[in-house]
Structures are given as structure tokens and as C-alpha cells.
Amino acid sequence: MSNETKQLIVFDLGGEEFGVKITKVQEIIRMKELTQLPNASEFMAGIINLRGDIISVIDLRKRFGVEQKETKKTRIIIVEMDNQDVGLIVDSVSEVLRIEPADIEDAPERIAGIKDDYLKGIGKVDDRIIILLDLDQLLTTEEKIELENASQNVNDEDIA
Amino acid sequence: MAKILIVDDAQFMRTMLSKLIEEEGHEVAGEAVNGIDAVQKYKELSPDMVTMDITMPEMDGIEAMKEIKKVDPGANIIVCSAMGQKPMVVEALEAGAKDFIVKPIKPKKVKEALANILG
Amino acid sequence: MDIEEFQDLYATEAQEHLEILNNSLLQLEDNPHDLGLVKELFRAAHTLKGMAGTMGFEKVSNLTHAMENILDKLRNEEMAVSTEIVNLLFKSLDTLEILINDGEEALSFELEDIISELKGYASGEIEVSNDSNNIDEATTIHNFSIELSDGEIKSAKNKLTEGSVVFLLRVILEDDCVFGALRAKMVGDELESYGEIVKANPALQDIEGAEVDSEFQVLFISNFEDKEILDALDRISELKELDLEVIDDLNELKKAESKKNKNSSKKTSAKSLSKRLKSSSTIRVDVERLDDLMNLVAELVIKRTQVESIGESYQLDELNKKLKSLGKVTSELQNSVMNMRMVPINLVFNRFPRMVRDLAQEMEKEINLEIEGEDTELDRTIIDEIGDPLVHILRNAADHGIESPEERKKAGKDPAGTVKMSAFHEGNNVIIQIQDDGKGIDAEFIKQKALSKGVISQEEAEMLSDQETINLIFASGFSTSEEVSDVSGRGVGMDVVKNKIESLSGSVDIYSKVGEGSTFTIKLPLTLAIIQGFLINIADQKYVLPLETIQEIVKISPDDIKTIRQQEVIQRRGSVIPLISLRKELNKPEYEEIPEELSIVIIKIGEESYGLSVDSIIGQQEVVIKRINDLSDGVEKIAGATILGDGSVALIIDIEEVTLGK
């Protein structure tokens, strides 16, 4: 990890805060009508028409085993993943956050239920904990990420 | 049988024209690849007729034709033009070209022009 | 001769004359004293009349005749060009267009109204001696006729000397002659050495500008024998027919000519058409054949992609390498086919001058339309589809963009607004820009509007730049017009424009500055991967089947379905074919209630037929194939996706995967 200040897009998923590097984010759009793909993997929510381009959308809520509930705040974050644009459905997008490298801790070696592959680290700003995601690793496994346990563990460790 | 000088910077055109000329029972006196070459060859060979490309390096066909006309005012010259070269054909006709053919050339047209000029 | 055969030729040629009428009329409006334009209009109307008469189209013939009468009055300056007259002529032109494009049956009573109006004008202003038929007789203006005025006849007579005669030379050029005008010049030059030219049609002086179609005529005086002259002319290449006639009495020329030309008018038009068809290095191909070819190429591309994915998943390096070069060839093949479908954008642009004129008049504004780059080529499908969005943007520019002359004057602008429409290539795209010098779009106004309509939230509003705000007019449910005007408020918003453009794989942007105007920039791909699709509905979702595989659509009752070795089958024309439930194949729930009647699409792959059960049928449509990002190797049975006209996405079914093993 470099020593420069990072800018993160912070989003909310099942009450937990996650961050992705702003340079990976193309844009954030409102929830749109999805066209479902038959026989696709469980996390593929479907495809959308984004200004004439067909974009595949992953339901991060499914990926992390969070309840799927559409609200006015539900957003699709369009990110660049393996050189292609992919949409990620999240509960809401809260802010752009600057974070100093000093505030980022390496991910714990192994958190129960969540493979450290997805984790770039844990960001601590004031008393918030932001889970930094490594997008490129997000799709390499079919396994569902057990979010609740994961964050539980982080919190426990933090307290301890 | 007439002696004809072919002037064109493209080998393809020269080959095609000489084939057509020979088919019509005439003789290809020589070939020139640019205007200067054409004037030179005309003086050397005194052909009965010249087919003259318009766009060529060194000296273009119209200039070459004017030069040839200075040496031999009665020279029989046909210009070969491309589709978009109408104004140049007008200039050539005014400078004394006897006929013109338009590329892509058609054997029928070349033969017609030969017959009209050489009788 | 079977007149029916000439229907297509008639349609094409008539279209050209309509265009001439339209363009000249537009010009005439700005230059009401230009008699040259009136003459051009007259010629076009006259030629149309002749053509329609030959084809037996009475209504077109009657209408053009009535138009001719008015134009004749204008031509002879017996009547002045007024807005009223121009409007009436435009109205006639509209009717003419309907008659020609939709057939003679298209309308009847309106036609009578217009004709009587035309007649009223023709007779009302000046007392015509009731014999409107005579106008027809007196009409000698024709592309290939020579008409002499009294003065010309006199001066020609003076030139006649002992032993000299007047010759009328008619020359017909070879069909594939390229520079016809130069041949006319050569003929003229040759004739000069045999005598004196009195008149030529077209005039030999402006030969460099004009192009001679297939025929020209020269009237000249000579004391040489006709044989000598003909021999000399014979040496000029590319002359198909030479006809030399001695004119005994110059005074009779006019009369003699008019009769001859009546008969030859159809001849010449037929000839110029056949000449066009034989144009040296091009051939005409039915669009359907091109489409067939393109569909096959599109299929090939899809198949290639499928083979590629096999190569990738099994990591067959050798195969992948070969596929790469195959990919190159298929791409080039696709490009070549696409290039064949390119047509100039003028096909769309040419209707705009008229439209803008009408709009301006309707709204009492002054608008100049400038068009640039009308030769820019685009795929035929895009051309077919882009018209409506452009019309909408133009209407908007005229309605909301350009201010009234008073407002413009107050703002220190030219009272006449300008709308500039341009098309040009940029890389692999075609850019169409519509630029107006009107009042521009007020970002703050848009923002308030978007807020009040709930298109954006307060927080979002604060984050938006002016540019982003202006682009909100493309958001669905947004319309900037304060009051719905007749012109642009027809219930279609800019979102429809945007969806349409995006369904063509294009994009649209606006740049606007308050007080200075707005620029719409549309970016379109040069070519598209297009197939003829057939839209169907399954479990409330739209899908596309490739049209070429479809044999027919049948309705069956559930009782018609039999099961053989666990495979559902139906009987069709004596043979048993497998029935495939697309609901099942696409992982959709089965019917809750089996319908009484099932729609079955019968497809054929190779020699095998299959029945695909679908919920309902929507219809045929050209669709643009888009690749789906295969994130999880899980997209089975789907060959790609396409964006429909309403912005929604439909999946293209991979027929082969669906039928595999059935």
C-alpha cells in the first residue's frame, strides 16, 4: 500500500461501512430496472442499460448475505473490474472520504467466514470502521461472504 | 498499323493499354513514365499517336502535351483522366488533345478512341 | 411494353423531382424575383406531369398540371411571387408527395380543394381566356429542346447566306459516357469549323459547370453537306446517335419542336434512369440481400465468440491462436458488409429545411437553417432510426431555443435566429450537431424543475455542476416546456430521444450557455452489429430470437402435446418435432395456470425443426447485438443482449444451446 492519502467512496451494506478506491469508481447511479440472466451465478443481479452499454450488475447484498431491501437510497456503483465496467448494488452511498495510510490497518490474517482476499485492510477514521474492499478479488470465488460474522470479529478484535 | 507511345506512371495502366493497342493491331512504339520522359520519347520515336496520363510526377500530362505540340503541332494525343478531373480534361482539349478516356478505362472506349483517330 | 415494370423507375425519378420542387420552392421564398427558380419549378412540375401521365396516374398529373398553370403565370410575370402563392405551392407539394409515396388512392377530397384553389389563383388574378388546356400546348420548355425567341430567329436569318442552311443536330451519348458535357464541347468545337452555332441546349458556354445527361442539341448554320459534317462528328468518341436535320423554316422550329418533345419526354426520362442504373463501377443490390448477408455475418461473429470462450475455458492455446486470426478475418468481413450499407445522411437532412421553414412560420419566428456535411455516410439502419430524434431536437431548438424576433432584437441579436446542423466523422463515430443561437438553457431553472418533479434530491442538486444539470432534461419524466406547445409538447420528452439514440449505441450531450444558445451533440457508431430479430415475451421479460431460424408461428392446445421418452413433442405436418419450453430453459417458473392456447415458434436448425413455447409474440425488429460481460461463466443459453427503443434490455436467445440434446 502506498503512502499517499487515499480517497474512498464509502458505501453502506447491511449497516456496515465499506470503502473502494475512488479511482476504481466510474459513477454512481440510482437503482435501475435489471434484466435477469437465466442460469447465471447467484450474485449476478442481471444487466442494465447504461447509456447504451450493457453492464453486468453484481448484488453485493447477496454476496455478503445481507437482506435485500430496495429503498430510495439504494444505488448501483459502477466500478472498473478486470478492465470492464461492472455495477455493484449497495444499500446507500454516503460520502467521499480521505484516509491517511497511517489509518489503514492490514486485514487480520483470517477473519472467520471472510477470506482476506477481498480485504485490503481496515480503515479507522474517528471511531468508524471502514472495510476496504479489493474489487479484483471479489469475483474469484463462488463462496458467499459471511458479513455479519466478519464484522463481528473485527469489532471484537478492536475492542480487545 | 500505327506506332503509339504510352505515357503513364502506373505500370498497370501501361500494361493494360499496350495489350489493348496490340489487340487492335497497332504497335507500341515505347512507354514513358512521366512528362519529361514523354517529351523525350516523342522526339526520339515520332509516334503516330500518344496516350497521355494527366497526373504524373516530374511533369504532368498537360504540360507534356503542350511541349509535344510545340515540337509537332499535329501530334495526335489522347488524354487519360480520372473521374474527378473534368477541368483538366477541358484544359487538355483546349490545348489540342484529340480525345480523352476516363479511368477506370474500358477496352471498348480505348478501341473507339484509337479507331477515331487512326481511322 | 408493360407499364408496371417502370413503377420503380417512376418512383425514384419522381422523388428527384419532388426534391427539386422542394428545394427550388425554399429558395424562391427567399428570392421571389428569381425567374430561373420559377422555370426550374415549372420544368420539374412539367416533367412530373409527363411521367405521371405516361404511368396513368391521373391525380398526380392533374395536380402538377394545375401547379404548372400557376408557375406559368409566374414565369411570364403575369403574377408576382407572394407568400400566399408559395404556401399554396408548398401545400400542393405536400399533397403531391402523399400521392406519389402512398399511391393515388391515398386521398381524394383534399386534392380537389387544392386543385380548385390553384385554379382560382391562376384565373383570379388575371382573366385567362378559359382555355387552360392551351397552356399545355404552349409549353415547350423542356430539358432537350431548343426554343428561339423572335429576336433570335431574326438574327439567325441574317446569318443565312447563299448556299447555307440551318441544321438541327441531335446527339445521344453512350450510356456510360462520363463527361457528357465535354463531348458536347467537342461537338461544338468541331461544328465551329463547319459553320456558326445559333443556339445549343444546354448552352455550350457553361459546359464546365453543367453536366449533359444523355442528350444534347445544337442549332447551327453551315454551307457544308450534311454528310461531311456527320463524318467529322463521327470521329468524336462516345456518341451513340447523331441525327442531323435541315430546318427549312426557322419559324416552324418552335412548333415542330414542341410536338416532337411531347413524344420524347418519356423516352428521355427512361433513358436517364437506365443510365443511372448502369453507372460504370457500381451495381444495385436489393437491401434484403444485404441484410441476409449481414445476418449471416452476425451469426458468424456470434459463433466465433462461442468457440473463443471454449478455447479460453479449456486453455487450448493452439486453438486460441488460430481463432485470433479467424477473428481478424471475421471482423474485416463484418466491416466490409457494414460499409455496403452506408448511405449519406442527406436522406434524413433533406426534409429539415422545409420543416424548419414551416415551424418558423407557425411560431412567427425567423429561423435560418444551415446544413453542413450532408454527404457524411452512416449505416442504413441508423439513418432509418435517427430521423425522429433529430426532428425532436430541431423542434425544440425552434420552439424553446430561438427567441421571437422582438426578444432577439432586445438582446442585441440578429432578429433571425440560426440553427446549424452538421454531420462529420470522428474516429469510428459520426457526430451530428444541432446548434442554435437562441436563449440557451438556464441550469438553475432546470435544477428547480428537477427538484420539484422529484427527479433529483436536494443533496444531489447541490452536487451537480451546471453541465450535469442541463443534461437532466434527458432524465425520464422531465420536460422543460412551461406550457405544452403545439410544436414540441407532444407528450414525448427528451428521454425518448435519448433512449432512441442509446438503442443505436450512440450518446447525446448538450452544451448550453444562457443567452448564447445550445448545442446538442449526438455521437453515433459508424456501423452496428445488427440482426433481424423476433421479439417474444416469456414470464414478463422480452427476449429476441434470430428471425432467420424461424419457420412459422403456430397456436396449439395443451392437449396437442405428447410425451415420447420424456421429451415433449408436437405433431406438425405429419412429422413429430421436439417441444422446448423456454420458461424451463430460462429458469423461469412454470405457468401457474396452463393457458388454453399456447404460442409455439417453430424454428429450424440445419435439418432439424423444433417448437419453442413462448408466452406471447411481440414482433419483428432489427436489433443491435451487445456482448454481455461474462463475470461468472454463468451466462448460458444467451447469445447477447440488445437495447430496445424504450431503453429496456432484451436478451438474445442462443438457439443452439437451447436446442442442444433435444
d(CA C70, CA C631): 70
Q: Does B112 touch chain C (CB under 8 A)?
A: yes
Residue-level pLDDT at B99: 92
Of residues B88 and C531, more confidence is placed in: B88
**How many angstroms separate the CA of residue A29 from the nearest CA in chain C?**
11
In this complex, is the C-beta atom of A83 within 8 Å of any C-beta atom belonging to chain C?
no
Contacts of B14 (CB under 8 A, 6+ apart): B6, B8, B31, B33
> What pLDDT is recorded for position B95?
87
Contact with chain C for residue A41, Cβ under 8 A: yes
Residue in chain A lying closest to C500 (CA): A52
**What is the structure's pLDDT at C157?**
80
In three-state secondary structure terms, C244 is strand
**Per-residue CA distances from A53 to A85, B101, C3 (Å):** 10, 52, 50
**Among candidates C534, C543, C570, which has minimal Cα distance to C555?**
C570
Q: Which residues of A touch C629 (CB under 8 A)?
A: 47, 54-56, 84-86
Residues of A in contact with C587 (CB under 8 A): 38-39
**Nearest chain B residue to C179, by CA:** B86
* Residues of C in Cβ contact (< 8 Å) with A40: 632, 634-636
Q: How many residues does chain C have?
A: 662
> Which pLDDT value is given to residue C245?
83
Sheet with A53-59, strands from edge to edge, namely: A25-30, A75-81, A84-90, A53-59, A44-50
Q: Do chains A and B touch (3 or more CB pairs under 8 A)?
A: no
Asked whether the predicted pLDDT for residue C486 surpasses 60, the reply is no
pLDDT value, residue C16: 82
* Contact flag C634-A52 (C-beta cutoff 8 Å): no
Contact C655, C603 (CB under 8 A): yes
**Residue C426: pLDDT above 50?**
yes
* Cell numbers 478506491: residue: A21
Please tell me the distance from the alpha carbon of residue C629 to that of residue A79, in angstroms, as a whole number.
13
- Give the residue on A whose Cα is nearest the Cα of C456: A30
| Buried/exposed code over C499-510 (b: 16+ C-beta within 10 A; e: otherwise) | bbbbbbbbbbeb
| In contact, C400 and C376? CB cutoff 8 Å | no
Cβ separation of A53 and C626 shorter than 8 Å? yes
Please judge whether C632 and A139 are an interchain contact, meaning their C-beta atoms are less than 8 angstroms apart: yes
Neighbours of A146 (CB within 10 A): 17
Active site residues of C: 46, 68, 396
**Considering only residues 43 to 72 of chain A, which have any Cβ-Cβ distance to chain C shorter than 8 Å?**
43-44, 47-49, 51-56, 58
Model pLDDT, residue A27 = 87
Q: What percent of chain C has pLDDT over 70?
A: 84
CB C57 within 8 A of CB C104: yes
- pLDDT tens, C70-87? 888 888 888 888 888 888
Domain count, chain B: 1
Instruction: Report the domain count for chain A.
Output: 1
The CATH number of whichever domain residue A142 belongs to comes to: 2.40.50.180
Contact at CB, C280 and B99, closer than 8 angstroms: no
Cα C534-C539-C545 angle, rounded to 5 deg = 20
Banded model confidence at residue C369, pLDDT cuts 50, 70, 90: very high
- In this complex, the chains that touch B, judged by 3 or more CB pairs closer than 8 A, are C
Cell 435485500 belongs to residue: A68
Chain A interface disruption, residue of C429, C629, C638, most A CBs within 10 A: C629
Q: Angle at CA C367, nearest 5°, toward C439 and C375?
A: 105
Q: In terms of CATH, what superfamily is C530-659?
A: CheA-289, Domain 4 (2.40.50.180)
Helix (H) or strand (E) holding A21, with range, is strand A16-21
Sign, CA torsion C194/C200/C206/C209: negative
Q: List pLDDT tens digits, range C550-602.
A: 888 889 988 888 888 888 899 887 888 999 999 988 888 888 888 888 899 99
Burial (CB < 10 A; 0-12, 13-18, 19+), residue A145, is: buried
Q: Do C182 and B113 touch (CB under 8 A)?
A: no
- Domain housing A77: 6-155
Determine the Cα–Cα distance for residues C322 and C304; give it in Å rounded to an integer: 11
**Helix or strand (DSSP H, E) at C317:** helix C317-340
C-alpha cell at C144: 432537350
A31 domain residue, yes or no:
yes
Q: Which of A9, A29, A36, A37 to mutate to test the interface with C (most CBs of C within 10 A)?
A: A37
Cell of B105: 478505362
Q: Which fold has domain C344-525?
A: Heat Shock Protein 90 (3.30.565)
Residue C312 has pLDDT above 80, yes or no: no
In a domain, A125, yes or no: yes
The cell numbers describing C609, all together, are 425443426
How far apart are the CA of C236 and the nearest CA of chain B, in angstroms?
7
End-to-end Cα spacing for chain A: 26
CB contact under 8 A, C643 and A84: no
Give the Cα separation of C257 and C264 in Å (integer): 10
Distance CA C581, CA C589 (A): 11
Between A125-129, B10-14, C274-278, the lowest mean confidence (pLDDT) is in C274-278
How close does chain C come to B109, measured CA to CA in Å? 7
* Cβ partners under 8 Å of residue A125, min gap 6: A97, A99, A103
Fold agreement (C3-123, C150-270): no
List chains touching C (3+ CB pairs under 8 A). Answer: A, B
d(CA C380, CA C524): 12
Q: Residue A58 carries which side chain, given as an amino acid letter?
A: I
In this prediction, residue C135 has a pLDDT band, given cuts at 50, 70 and 90, of very low
B42 touches chain C (CB under 8 A): no
Chain C within 8 Å of B43 (Cβ-Cβ)?
no
Q: Could you give the angle at the alpha carbon of A7 between the alpha carbons of A6 and A11, nearest 5°?
A: 125
Of B90, B93, B109, the CB nearest to C237: B109
Of residues C554 and C139, which shows the higher confidence score? C554
Chain A contacts in chain C segment 521-560 (CB below 8 A)? 541
Which residue is closest to A28 within chain C, CA to CA? C460
pLDDT of residue C281: 52
Pairing of strands C649-653, C638-643: antiparallel
CB contact under 8 A, A35 and C587: no
Tell me, what's the pLDDT at C632? 55
Task: Tell me: pLDDT of C127 over 50.
Answer: no
Contact yes or no for C218/C236 (Cβ under 8 A): no
Which residue, C474, C522, C468, is CA-closest to C498?
C474
In which domain, by residue range, is B95 found? 3-118
b/e sequence C578-609, b meaning 16+ C-beta within 10 Å:
bbbbbbebbebeeeeeeeeebbbbbbeeeeeb
Dihedral sign from CA coordinates of C96, C97, C103, C106: negative
In a domain, A100, yes or no: yes
Q: What angle do CA C488, C491, C497 make, to 5 degrees?
A: 70
Looking at the DSSP bridge assignments, the partners of residue A7 are: A98
CB C565 within 8 A of CB C574: no
The domain C150-270 having CATH identifier 3.30.70.1110: the answer here is: yes
CB contact under 8 Å between C648 and A142, yes or no, is no
Rounded CA-CA distance A15/A91 in Å is 9
Element (H, E) at B80: strand B77-81
Residue C439 scores a pLDDT above 70: yes
**Confidence (pLDDT) at C134:** 32
Residue of B nearest to C190 (CA): B98
Q: What is the DSSP string of C352-415?
A: HHHHHHHHHHHHT--EEEEEE-TT-EEEHHHHHHHHHHHHHHHHHIIIIISPPHHHHHHTTS-S
CATH code of the domain containing B69: 3.40.50.2300
Query: Comparing C-alpha atoms, which of C661, C397, C416, C374 is closest to residue C519?
Result: C397
Model pTM score? 0.43
- Nearest-CA distance C452 → chain A (Å): 16
Pick from B90, B104, B116: CB nearest C237: B116
C634 touches chain A (CB under 8 A): yes
Nearest by Cα to C122 from C62, C188, C78, C59: C78
3-state secondary structure C474-538: HCCCCCCCCCCCCCCCCCCCHHHHHHHHHHCCCEEEEEEECCCEEEEEEEEECCCCEEEEEEEEE
Contact assignment for C648 to A48 by CB distance below 8 Å: no
What pLDDT score was predicted for residue C140?
31
Rounded to 10 degrees, the C-alpha dihedral C21/C24/C26/C31 comes to -150
CA neighbours within 13 Å on the CB side: how many for C335?
Answer: 7
Tell me the pairing of strands B3-7 and B27-32: parallel
CB-nearest partner of C635 from A37, A52, A53 = A37
Residue C269: band (very low, low, confident or very high) from pLDDT cuts 50, 70, 90: very low
Signed CA dihedral, C335, C339, C340, C343: sign only: positive
Bridge partner residues of C172 (DSSP): C215, C241
Residue with cell string 488533345: B97
Q: Which residue has the cell 436489433?
A: C623
Pick the CATH number of C3-123 from 3.40.50.360, 1.20.120.160, 1.10.10.10, 3.10.180.10: 1.20.120.160
CB contact under 8 A, C647 and A49: yes
Torsion angle, alpha carbons of C373, C374, C376, C381, to 10: 140
User: And the C-alpha cell for C600?
Assistant: 409455439
Which of C502, C588, C637 shows the shortest C-beta gap to A51?
A: C502
Containing H/E element for C185?
helix C180-192
Give the nearest partner residue to B89 out of C179, C235, C236, using CB atoms. C179
CB C624 within 8 A of CB C652: no
Chain C residue numbers touching A55 (CB-CB < 8 A): 629
Chain C residues with CB under 8 Å of a chain B CB are 176, 178-179, 181-182, 185-186, 189, 208, 234-238, 280-281
Alpha carbon of residue C201 to chain centroid: 32
Chain A residues near residue C648 by CB distance under 8 angstroms: 33, 35, 49
Higher pLDDT, C615 or C284: C615
Segment holding A2, helix H or strand E? none
Consecutive H or E run containing B44: helix B35-45
